[in-house]
Structure 1
Amino acid sequence: MTPRSAEASDIVVVGGGAAGLSLAHRLTETGAATVTVIEPPDGPPRPAERTWCYWDAGVDDLEEAVSASWPLLRVHGADGRPVTVEPAPFTYRMVRSTDLERMVHGRLARSDGGRVLRATVESVRDVPQGAEVRCTLPGGWSLTLRARRVFDSRPLPALPPARTRLLQHFRGWFVRTDTDRFDPAVADLMDFRVPQPAHGLAFGYVLPLARDRALVEYTEFSGSALTTEAYESALGDYCRDILGLGALTVERTEQGIIPMTDARFARRAGSAVFRIGTAGGATRPATGYTFAAVQRQSRAIAAALRDGHGTVPPAPHGRRALAMDAILLRALDTGRIDGSAFFTDLFRRVPTERLLRFLDGATSVREEWSIGLRTPVRPMLATAVELPFLPRRSRPTARIGENHR
């Protein structure tokens, strides 16, 4: 392997997924620093195309990358009764990884000191007055980059110690039907009419892209992922027996695993090395939603750099939100509450705009108290009393992929 001389940037962002691209986008907006984004070269290390979803009000600065949006949300209870809600002023939005990549790469190319480097990262470490990233270029050349700060978005090889550890795992089909089967105005967030596993919960997820096209997913919250064959069988049954889609063509698939855990994620990996995205705790433990928290974190980092303040990434979720999530995860894991009934009742009994703010951690203590009274109070209180006495344990786990929400 032939060495090359070191290169320098103010900021190096490792990983070109949602977290890495979002931070690069915010940094180019502020113009506070030169930035190099390191992405894997083409081939097996490069992730397949993914979708990320979030809700927001009005027009945001990601509008260029938004490929679809829905003004109505629907949840189907296990009893078959649907609840359809209008979450105004919010809309539910989809961003495809290729669209976000195209947008951010274009802005990096037009900015002073912004660039994308295709390389395999071998190591990231502190050095005097900054950090160093050693990587290998596609031709086999080695390259060392030095920066004042490095923000690393790569998935962790194992999760930190936790009291509760579940996985949100899913497989999705982008389908085209022979006849119009979907309402493009309505996104089905959770459809609990699918058979429920013995431990955890399962639901369908449908995002219409046109009257004859949609992303249809089968999702479980449980301790371990399924085989591809099991996901395919569940998707086939869901499309045929519950959605009644008739003849269809599967144009593309996606699959992922998201951590749902009360583990404490360190946001600092060195004096000048920081973790962002799921690796930095951006995934909301009780729902798996990550994309909105990544946007908040990225804006805060870029603003801190612009203003010359400290750059440890802020906590993506507040302490109250994490405490409530830890209770819910434990109650789900022990079977004290029925997960499908719990989430369905939230959408039936809580005003939608307030519920979405709650899921984003943007509600007041008074609002959270009123929502808590609409949950199964006794099992939640029993879990809250038990939780402080449970040890946090390490456990080997499969490498966790990037969130699609």
Structure 2
Amino acid sequence: MTRCSETPDEICDVIIVGGGAAGLSLAHRLTAAGSLTVTLVDAPGGAQRPAARTWCYWERGAGEWDEVVTASWSRLRVHGHDGRATTVDPSPLRYRMLRSTDLERLVHAGLARSPGSRVLKATADSVHNTLDGAEVACTTPEGRAMTLRARHVFDSRPLPALPPARTQLMQHFRGWFVRTGTDLFDPEVADLMDFRVPQPRHGLAFGYVLPLAGNRALVEYTEFSRTPLTTAAYEAALGQYTRDVLRLGAFTVDAAEEGVIPMTDARFPRRDGPRVFRIGSAGGATRPATGYTFAAVQRQSRAIADALRRGRAIAPPPYGRRALAMDAVLLRALDTGRIDGPDFFTGLFRRIPPERLLRFLDGTTSPWEEWGIGLRTPVAPMLRTAVELPFLRRRARPAPRPGEKQR
């Protein structure tokens, strides 16, 4: 196999378009084996390149990303709208956080060491199938047009528009990396949902606190609703949360992040032809009811890499049909107001064993476990929604701007 190059007559095994979590994870697994030539097409600096992102997930024991994990937590906490806190220990699972810049540095170093593989800083303008593979038309930062060819292309770029859906909410947020004068945070406890904030008329809102040290944390204000806020509105909500709820006193903001994650029951296509596959959020890796993405990206990239090493090309569904069906019911129930969002999510953490609940949120529980969880939710409104869904039309809606974080 020849080395990937700019010469159209030459061909490499795999081109990965996009250097986010999905692209980096797949590139890492393909180059770790060393048997495939890989080109990762990563957007150069500028308006098209997203800012540094925070990715969170839970994992059992030691993990492959441990060397770039920024922080991790052994206990999780949820504050109900009534002010009561529920703290759980999900062991053997542990909640982990990493920054996109650290993962990028690790994967790029691996690509540099792998013969025949590389990172190409360019804008991917188009991706097309060919008779014997696929090609990617690119533009370099200097403005030079290039055409790359490969046997298979895995495209993680955001879709220009979301597929038609019966329900589409957005998880939109802004976060501050804060630093306080004294130790106010417990580095072993992450606040996943803090509903002690004013609730919007439609949807739900919560705080999210990830301690990085006794005096440092990522503090976010998040909403599940139909329309994002302005930056000024997020800032006001964060100010109220840090002042009146967390009572942080004087602090400084070292950095900020903001973004939107689609929460939709749309059906995401995983192929754009015989040799072009969609991966990551563009391929449906975002869990519709929670916005979590990173863990599903790992499952998907692992399966793709294993199949390619056996001479096959696939992009398996990130979630099973049961998980997607349950998410469709929950999204519709939230959107119609048939269930109270803060009470629903707080109830899950108060009534369900934490390790089982996290596996449920990842889509890896058994049908029997899911039946038991379902009985601990508001059964009547959920059943009414489940009966209604098959009669609803899927409608096209505009896509949100890309999210800055994958959970």
TM score, norm. by length of structure 2: 0.97
Cα distance in 2 for residues equivalent to 1:208 and 1:194: 19
- Confirm or deny: 8 A CA contact 1:157 1:398 kept in the other structure: no
- 1:99 aligned partner: 102
From 343, 354, 366, the equivalent of 2:356 is: 354
CA deviation profile, 1:249-298 (whole Å, cap 9, x unmatched): 01100011001000000000121111000000000000000000000000
Give the Å deviation of 1:137: 0.8
- 2:314 aligned partner: 312
From 67, 71, 87, the equivalent of 1:84 is: 87
The 3-state SS of whatever aligns with 1:267 is: coil
Matches within 5 A, 1:220-239: 220-239=223-242
Give the Å deviation of 1:402: 5.0
- 2:366 aligned partner: 364
Q: What is the total number of aligned residue pairs between the two structures?
A: 401
From 400, 403, 406, the equivalent of 1:404 is: 406
- 2:62 aligned partner: 59
- Confirm or deny: 8 A CA contact 1:158 1:399 kept in the other structure: no
From 31, 44, 47, the equivalent of 1:28 is: 31
Comparing 389-398 with 212-221, which one deviates more in the overlay?
389-398
- Confirm or deny: 8 A CA contact 2:258 2:404 kept in the other structure: no
Amino acid at match of 2:371: W
Is 1:131 aligned to 2:138, yes or no?
Answer: no
- 2:48 aligned partner: 45
The 3-state SS of whatever aligns with 1:176 is: strand
CA deviation profile, 1:158-181 (whole Å, cap 9, x unmatched): 110000000000000000011111
Is 1:280 aligned to 2:286, yes or no?
Answer: no
Cα distance in 1 for residues equivalent to 2:171 and 2:35: 37
- 2:333 aligned partner: 331
Cα distance in 2 for residues equivalent to 1:401 and 1:70: 23
Give the Å deviation of 1:231: 0.3
- Confirm or deny: 8 A CA contact 1:156 1:399 kept in the other structure: no
> Where does the alignment leave 5 or more consecutive residues of structure 2 unmatched?
1-5
Task: Provide runs of 4+ in structure 1 moved above 6 Å.
Answer: none
Amino acid at match of 1:98: T
CA 403–251 in structure 1, closer or farther in 2 if over 3 Å, else same: closer
Cα distance in 1 for residues equivalent to 2:80 and 2:35: 48
CA deviation profile, 1:57-78 (whole Å, cap 9, x unmatched): 1001111221110000000000
Amino acid at match of 2:384: A
From 355, 379, 382, the equivalent of 1:380 is: 382
From 242, 248, 252, the equivalent of 1:249 is: 252
Tell me how large the CA RMSD over aligned residues is.
1.0
Cα distance in 2 for residues equivalent to 1:391 and 1:403: 30
> Where does the alignment leave 5 or more consecutive residues of structure 1 unmatched?
none
Cα distance in 2 for residues equivalent to 1:65 and 1:266: 31
